[in-house]
Structure 1
Amino acid sequence: MEELMENKVTEVKKTVQKRMEPELKLINMDKVEVEQIEWLLYPFIPYGKVTIIQGDPGEGKTTMVLQIIAKLTRGEAILPTVLLTDDKENAEVPVNVIYQTAEDGLGDTIKPRLLAAGADCSKVLVIDDADQPLTMADIRLEEAIIQTKARMVVLDPIQGFLGAEVDMHRANEIRPLMKRIAVLAEKYHCAIILIGHMNKNSNGKSSYRGLGSIDFQAAARSVLIVGRIKEEPETRVVCHTKSSLAPEGKSIAFQLDKDNGFEWIGEYDISADELLNGDGKGQKSRKAKEFLLEILADGGMSQKKILEEAAKRGIKGKTLRNAKSELEVDSVKRGNQWYWVLPE
């Protein structure tokens, strides 16, 4: 009798275990349809995916994102026409945006910034989490996307929406959160932007300066870094450090000052690591000036030869010409060629 009971218990355990085990399902890639990526801002922010925007505090991350939000609510191109890299970009009508902040006040900070950017505030929605803080795992996030049909969702900063029990340095706790966010973005074809602060490892590479687990960046399809130019504190630059869906975009600068507010400037020759280490433009400019002083020390040289030698040393044409202008190097035509000559 006792043996019979043990056998029944064993059978029950096997049955329960079998029910708990997932059923094998295979996907044949031959049956998978190819889908085209749509872009909110090519190649920086894709629809249906997660984008991370990182930077040190006070570098203009939130201001830039609010400018993007303002353009979306008015159905306008985010960048000036001369900076657009995709002819199909921004051909949209005004859309709704969900913006969640865990740091700034809505009435005294966020709305004044939105109004200054010219946003249609009726299209900017915020989930009221006064009674219970919102987290990345919160069902209200999906409900809000469904209700508002938002094309972009912003969580600012990432750290404020993890939940009190989540350790941002543990991959096993971050992966499911990032997976859920990625699923929401794909399911509702909206762009989800996570804004994050960076750690204080000033000598580290950009990929390792994001706070917390590297799984944040691993799950994102695009990662951008915003920082200011040391020699030009009013100039901020956006650098692409990860792009899984398109070639990395060239760095783009914007100006941020009290008198003129926010203004896109254009492409900027600097890498993310140079930007974060504060040795970007100044270092390149000094290198170009030293090169010109060295190569022209014994007299003039043809422009063609100078450009060829500069390219060998990794000095770009634009940087070289800026250095030429600052040193007041003269251009003199001799026969059919132009020569550069140091001023007397």
Structure 2
Amino acid sequence: MVKTDIEKGIVMEITKIIKAIETNEKIIIHRHVRPDPDAIGSQMGLKALIKHSFPEKEVYAAGETVSSLSFLAHMDEVSDAMYQESLVIVCDTANQPRIDDERYHTGKQLIKIDHHPKTDSYGDIEWVSTDSSSTSEMIVELALEAKSRGWGLNNEAARLLYAGIVGDTGRFKFPSTTVKTFQYAGELVRYDFDRTALYDGLYQAEEKVLRLSGYILQHFQLSENGLCVIKLTTELLEKYDVSVEETNQLVQVVADVKGMKAWVFLIEEESQIRVRIRSKGVVINQVAGKYNGGGHPLASGATVYSWEEGNYLVADLEKVCEEQA
């Protein structure tokens, strides 16, 4: 099959990344703050892929270990000195302020691998594929492209990359899921890892989290424009003994409400309010970008610093829902 110009361009970028990895002996991999399964899956899956293919290379994963995803992997201790003469790769991060660990720019070469819409161009090599369901899917593509050069996945890389794909496709339910997504998932399940345990780690929740989800289902309100707003104050989180990090498990709790176009969670922390926005069709990432965030057209995050600012964000989302009827 003859490749299109776009496909040839993608292969060129992948080849540049492959050669950069092959010619560097020390590699440090980053991802975004507040990581989700795709951030961890792509970062640690790439690390496992490189270590399996090149056991002699030094490969480190930078960033904070998040307890809710520690069943997937733990981050490495990376000193400032390690960045000298290192290749740095940033996975699943559209813009530089969201990169976990600001030392990412202190290596000798920087690569960006991401599937979000391009809002911040950075890196000496930049591979952005908005047609991919996840950055983990992109790492599988890289592995398959490099197979002829002796690269290979192993059980651990497959487990991590499968987790990333499952997480960012909502168990293959989201519109971002394509034929290629299923093909790559099929490649990964050939390897020996416990898919049941993986799903349990991704989706099982403690009783306290489920009780808070019950509260949300009892008290949510749907506007005339089809926007659902959920505000989780510090007092409410303390009442249910649920941490801000654990609220990650609640984002889809209202996803099946009939007549809803979009929904937003505003989660209060000590010095800021974390915002998670999801949509069934209306484009919401431009609103997120206005409030210190960004992401996909149908799934984004943001940060506001007062409930008043949060109300402005909600008003902007209402307007988007009304305009995109």
Give the TM-score of the pair, scaled to structure 1: 0.28
Bigger Rg, structure 1 or 2: 1
Higher strand share: 1
Higher helix share: 2
Give the TM-score of the pair, scaled to structure 2: 0.29
